[in-house]
Chains A and B, each alone.
Chain A
Amino acid sequence: MKVELTVNGKDVTADVEDRTLLVHFLRDVADLTATNVGCDTTSCGACTVLLDGESVKSCTVLAAQADGRAVTTLEGLADDGEMHPVQRAFHEEHGLQCGYCTPGMVMAIVSLLKENPSPSEAEVRRGLEGNICRCTGYHNIVKAALAAAASSDMGASQ
């Protein structure tokens, strides 16, 4: 079937199998490979992207379900080469080790901060329940989320 998405502000249209998952559409059709496939069972959150501004696990959404809607991936966060506040916070707080979970973590935090711009540490940890880091690097990831929330330019972007 024909699927037409707005990905990071650009139209991406393709004829794909009905069963195509959003994550495969993003990686294989739109050629945006920041979004990782981790567990493939709706558990780990590595494939988290924004669908109309809200975090979803793109391994558990059909491309067809997203047809006509707006998807944001990690590649779409930076503004004219300038890192998004959450990206910058990950950089400054060293919020990653191997980096595999990072795109999903960043997108989950962008969605979380949109819903709750000043979360407590406990709210950040609860908000990241759907994202697993196997390096056990949660401490700095949570620090990065709190630092991004505290940065004054958070409200201006996203």
Chain B
Amino acid sequence: MIPPSFTYARATSVDEALALAAEHGEDAKFLAGGQSLLPLMKLRFAAPSMLIDLGRVTELSYVRDEGTYVAIGALTRHHDVVHAEVLAADIPLLAAAAETVGDPQIRHRGTIGGSAAHADAAADLPATLLALDATFVVKGPDGTRSVPAAEFFKGIFETALEPGELLTEIQVPKPASPAAWSYQKFNKRAIDFAIVGVAVQGAGRHARVALVNMASTPLRATAVETALADGASVADAAQLAAEGTHAGSDIHASKAYREHLARVLTRRALEEAAARA
């Protein structure tokens, strides 16, 4: 399969990328690692008239310790997130979730910002960043703004990014108990997307729980978190994992099976996070 025709443009800096986007309007799309966008284009689910390649915008590839949080450039590859020492020490959930993305070849190309901006509810990192209360730094023609994760994911493949805006950095606060984490991913074959996934950061009353592939966006399991905060047991709280979700049925799993998985995986994740804490 070959993607539909487009014009290729290459940016070497953030400013150049924004200028190209402003010049070419909504039909232009940013290309990061391309591991989601190029497959979609081959299937004709996307047909932008121009791709603005960000592959040489090296200024957006970094993992920096900023004291209370870690700043990750949007073009940092999954491979580099997996191997970042500061994340291994302070936010192991993020490094572990990144290691479950695709396969080694995909992790050599795909980027954290590309995954977040693509906003696939079935992807590992959007839900993980939601569980970690990350902040997304967005640059556009009118300047820079910060969007909390809770407001970033809007709908199916839809984010708070406006046309012409570029996600430049993801800021992840260091959790109080970094070791209290778990990422549960249920799929049939190694490289498949999660049928359901659960990211947990924290233990006891302070656990934060986010669900993969249980709605059109990644989702916090609010009912579970509230029950835990009120002192419910892990087993009782996990029973609420499907509340407020809108799981779909497809060839891989029915809605009822996904809801069952959400409850089981949430219990496992909470137990594992508590055991690691």
Give A contacts to B, CB under 8 Å.
Answer: 1, 17-19, 21, 24, 40-43, 45, 48, 51, 54-57, 60-62, 64-65, 108, 111-112, 126-127, 129-131
B109 and A41 contact, CB distance less than 8 A: no
CA distance A45 to B103 in the complex (A): 10
The total of chain B residues at the interface (CB under 8 A) is: 28
Q: Which residues of B contact A21 (CB under 8 A)?
A: 2-3
In the complex, B10 has a CB within 8 A of chain A: yes
With A41-B39, A60-B39, A65-B34 as known contacts, state yes or no: A129 contacts B103, CB within 8 Å.
Answer: yes
CA distance A17 to B3 in the complex (A): 11
Chain A, interface SS category:
mixed
Which 6 A-B pairs have CB atoms at the shortest separation, nearest pair first? A130-B103, A18-B8, A129-B190, A129-B103, A54-B108, A57-B105
Q: Which residues of B contact A65 (CB under 8 A)?
A: 31, 34, 53, 55
Cβ-defined partner of B105 (8 Å) among A1, A41, A45, A62: A45
With A41-B42, A62-B38 as known contacts, state yes or no: A19 contacts B105, CB within 8 Å.
Answer: no
B190 and A64 contact, CB distance less than 8 A: no
Q: Mark B86-113, 1 if CB is under 8 A from A, else 0.
A: 0000000000000000111110110000
Q: Which of B53, B104, B109, B191 has the most CB of A within 10 A?
A: B104
Q: Which residues of B contact A19 (CB under 8 A)?
A: 2-6, 8
B191 and A55 contact, CB distance less than 8 A: no
With A19-B2, A19-B6, A40-B42 as known contacts, state yes or no: A56 contacts B103, CB within 8 Å.
Answer: no
Q: Which residues of B contact A60 (CB under 8 A)?
A: 34-35, 38-39, 106, 109
Q: Mark B36-47, 1 if CB is under 8 A from A, else 0.
A: 001100100000
With A41-B39, A61-B34, A65-B55 as known contacts, state yes or no: A18 contacts B108, CB within 8 Å.
Answer: no
Quick one: closest B residue to A111, CB to CB? Answer: B104
With A42-B106, A45-B103, A45-B105 as known contacts, state yes or no: A130 contacts B191, CB within 8 Å.
Answer: yes
Q: Which residues of B contact A45 (CB under 8 A)?
A: 103, 105
CA distance A43 to B3 in the complex (A): 17
With A60-B34, A130-B191 as known contacts, state yes or no: A17 contacts B109, CB within 8 Å.
Answer: no
Q: Which residues of A contact B5 (CB under 8 A)?
A: 17-19
| B190 CB → nearest A CB, Å | 4
Cβ-defined partner of B104 (8 Å) among A24, A64, A130: A130
Q: Mark B63-80, 1 if CB is under 8 A from A, else 0.
A: 000000000000000010
Q: Which residues of A contact B79 (CB under 8 A)?
A: 54
CA distance A55 to B109 in the complex (A): 9
B10 and A64 contact, CB distance less than 8 A: yes
Q: Which residues of B contact A17 (CB under 8 A)?
A: 5
| A105 CB → nearest B CB, Å | 12
CA distance A82 to B10 in the complex (A): 39
Q: Mark B1-44, 1 if CB is under 8 A from A, else 0.
A: 11111111010000000000000000000010011001100100
CA distance A54 to B108 in the complex (A): 7
CA distance A18 to B270 in the complex (A): 48
Q: Which residues of A contact B8 (CB under 8 A)?
A: 1, 18-19, 62, 64
B39 and A55 contact, CB distance less than 8 A: no
CA distance A130 to B6 in the complex (A): 28
CA distance A42 to B53 in the complex (A): 19
A57 and B106 contact, CB distance less than 8 A: yes
| A43 CB → nearest B CB, Å | 6
Residue contacts A-B, CB under 8 angstroms, 13 given: A18-B8, A19-B2, A19-B3, A19-B5, A24-B2, A40-B42, A41-B39, A43-B191, A61-B38, A62-B38, A111-B108, A129-B190, A129-B191
CA distance A105 to B38 in the complex (A): 22
B7 and A55 contact, CB distance less than 8 A: no
